Structure 1
Amino acid sequence: MALHLRGTLLPDGTARDLWILGDRIAFDRPSIEADTVADGGFLLPGLVDVHTHPGSPSEGEPAFDPDAFADQIAAHRDAGTTALRFPGLLGEIPEGLRAAPDVPRMITAGRWLAWAGLSKNADFHTVTDDLVAAAVAETKAHDGWCKLMGDWDFEADPVPYDILRAVTDAVHAVGGRVAAHCQSAQGVLNAARAGVDSIEHGMGMPEECVGLMAAQGAAYVPTLTPFARRAPQIIDTPRGRLWHEGHRIMIRRVREAHDAGVTVLAGTDSAPFGNVATEVEHLVAAGLPADVAVGPASWAARDFLGLPGLVEGGLADVTVYDADPRVEPGVLRHPRRIILRGRVVR
């Protein structure tokens, strides 16, 4: 049996009917019987969190916990998040789970990759002397992405530009893309100059990086949610003041990046899982208009990741809301209906 939905499609704002046949969207009434599962409201391409790291235990040393992974991606799903990008996982996705019909679509970049000359104060990083070969291998082994540590802290030297450029060129040569963790000003600048495909965090980002990202088609994933949560805990020390200034710079760069044509995307980075609505609210607070800020967690993110939205033949991921999230972003916390892979999960 097909599924039938009627409502206002976003982002274009047209009111129309759509049908779901298997895992695809159609706009012509099918010849088979259809069950109406939504009549009215606002139909959004399923939410996306482009920076999340499920699988981490709530306590103890960092290690991949398959049970925690399953619970945490279920929390994403139950919040209406139907696609996830993992820019770094502590382990491999449990066999069979990825293709399960009731779990979000997954795009993984494999392991964190850290240059051997980088600070080694985080044991879960994969430290390697041959960063280029490791990045190409991760790209091929996963979903066309690799995750690179462009720096780690404000005191350690970042990865040199020539190494970042060699990695980026090699990954692009095999059709892949590079996500770069960057916090220090020089780390972000090196990554932007090297032509990485997404800059994660961007704390302390120099203003010139905005133009570089715009020219190269790179995305900015600020992950404001965990930084905002930590801000009250950062004490007033020289290092703390540096941290707070970096946080303020991130917030400014969000609006500047958008105004320059950079694709800004929503990622939550850490627990609680299924919390991308909070990231949208932080993007609004950073200066994005509400009607723009929803896109980074939905249609803009899907477009960047190659996941078709509410178009003929698009993937059958739909969330339905009683109010327009472009006007009331808070409604993203309360989906009336969630359809994932063509199946009603709520």
Structure 2
Amino acid sequence: MAFHVRGTVLPDGDCRDLWILGDRITFERPGAECVTLAEGGFLLPGLVDVHTHPGAVGDASTPPGFDAGLFAEQIDAHRDAGTAALRFPGLTGQVPDEVRNAPGAPRMITAGRWLAWAGLSRSAEFHTVTDELAAAAVKEALANDGWCKIMGDWDFDAPPVPYEVMRAVVEAVHAVGGRVAAHCQSADGVLQAARAGIDSIEHGMGMPEECVGLMAASGAAYVPTLTAFAGSRAEVAARGTARAALWLSGHDTMIRRVREAHDAGVTVLAGTDSAPFGNVASEVEHLVAAGLPADAAVGAASWAARDFLGLPGLVEGGLADLTVYEEDPRRSPGVLRHPRRVVVRGHVVR
């Protein structure tokens, strides 16, 4: 049994017929019996959220933990919204095999545990604190899907991980074929990460202007997670403290850097960070509001993200992840919230 879909294939923009055979797509009509899923509309490679932490539980008064049942529910929310691939830059627990391997489950790229250098001023309980950051990073990259996640900083007013330590991590992980994501929420933290050649900078609050050129030169991606920060802005502003003012200034700066990074050739990607899950369309809208061209913002949650993670799009022999929309999301990004059809790993989700 094969599935047939006809529509405008993005990002190329050609109207074509494609067929889904198992977990692959083809543009050549197969001999098998075919069922047509959609005729007309716009075909988008399955959405991607490159920064999400499903399954996390706990708050300021409760030690953080991992709930496997909650993880499964939040993965389903991603999938039902058309998100066909997820990157987890830091999890507090192991991905359950039965969820990861379930039919129609989003493709999952893990980076293991959050890793924090022992020299940081303080670390939340969910960080794995170590003096041997490079060795720990290599271990996580090899044990997961080629990625590890380190904390480039933690406090706004404390020194970040030194350049020499960050560079040692990057060199060690790259030597085993892995990549490094870095949490950065201070200007100095972002600068040291960019100088060290980190593969993706998460958040980037207060990013100094010179980082844009450094990231473009090294091929680093920028994942600003604007959705999460936008949800916190009003609460932070209400505090009226000097630390809140620093936060607000950093937030304004990171928004400006989105368009600047794009214009310089940096790959800007969509990641939501936190609840609600299955909400990468919101991140696309925030990227557009920050000045990213609509086609680039949609690509940040689709074809550009898939390319960065090594996942083929809608090409001959590509992975059978696609969503169908009534309108062109490059012209109307809000349509991402309303997929007509969702196919993940060749399974019809909607």
Q: Distance in 1 between matches of 2:210 and 2:113?
A: 29
1:154 to 150, 153, 156: 156
Q: Deviation per CA, 1:55-92: give whole Å up to 9, x if none.
A: 11376431000000000010000110010000000000
Amino acid at match of 2:285: E
State the alpha-carbon separation in 2 of the partners of residues 48 and 214 from structure 1: 22
Name the CA distance, whole Å, in 1 between partners of 2:328 and 2:108: 27
- Distance in 2 (CA, whole Å) between partners of 1:286 and 1:199 is 17
**TM-score, normalising length: structure 2:** 0.98
Q: Which runs of 4+ in 1 moved over 2 A?
A: 57-61
Matches of 2:182 and 2:11 in 1, distance apart?
29
Distance 1:119 1:276 in 2: 33
Q: 1:22: which partner in 2? A: 22
Measure the CA separation in 2 of the matches of 1:120 and 1:212: 28
Structure 1: stretches of 5+ with no match in the other structure: none
Indicate the residue corresponding to 2:295 in structure 1.
291
Correspondence for 1:83 = 85
Partner of 1:102: 104
Q: Say whether residues 1:128 and 2:130 are aligned partners.
A: yes
Distance 1:308 1:121 in 2: 37
Deviates further, 151-160 or 39-48: 151-160
Q: Shift in Å at residue 119 of structure 1?
A: 2.9
1:57 aligned partner: 57
Q: Offset at 1:104?
A: 0.5
Q: Which moved more, 1:293-302 or 1:89-98?
A: 89-98
Aligned length: 346
Listed one character per residue, the Cα deviations across residues 181-236 of structure 1 (whole Å, up to 9, x for unaligned) are 00111100000000010000000100000000000000000000010110001122
Q: Deviations over 1:33-61 (max 9, x none)?
A: 11100111000000000000001137643
- How far apart in 2 are the matches of 1:284 and 1:97? 33
Q: Which residue number corresponds to residue 192 of structure 2?
A: 190
- Indicate which of 327, 338, 348 corresponds to 1:334: 338
What CA deviation, in whole Å up to 9, does each residue of 1:319-342 have, x standing for no partner? 000011000000000000000000
Q: Helix, strand or coil for the counterpart of 2:56?
A: coil
Question: C-alpha deviations, 1:284-311, integer Å up to 9, x for none?
Answer: 0000111221000000000000000000
- Percent of matched pairs sharing the same residue: 76
1:236 aligns with 2:229: no
The letter of the residue matching 1:170 is A
Distance 1:145 1:80 in 2: 24
Please state if 1:253 is matched with 2:257.
yes
Contact preservation (8 Å) 2:312, 2:319: yes
* Structure 1 length-normalised TM: 0.99
What amino acid is the match of 1:133?
Answer: A
- Ranges in structure 2 where 5+ consecutive residues have no aligned partner: none
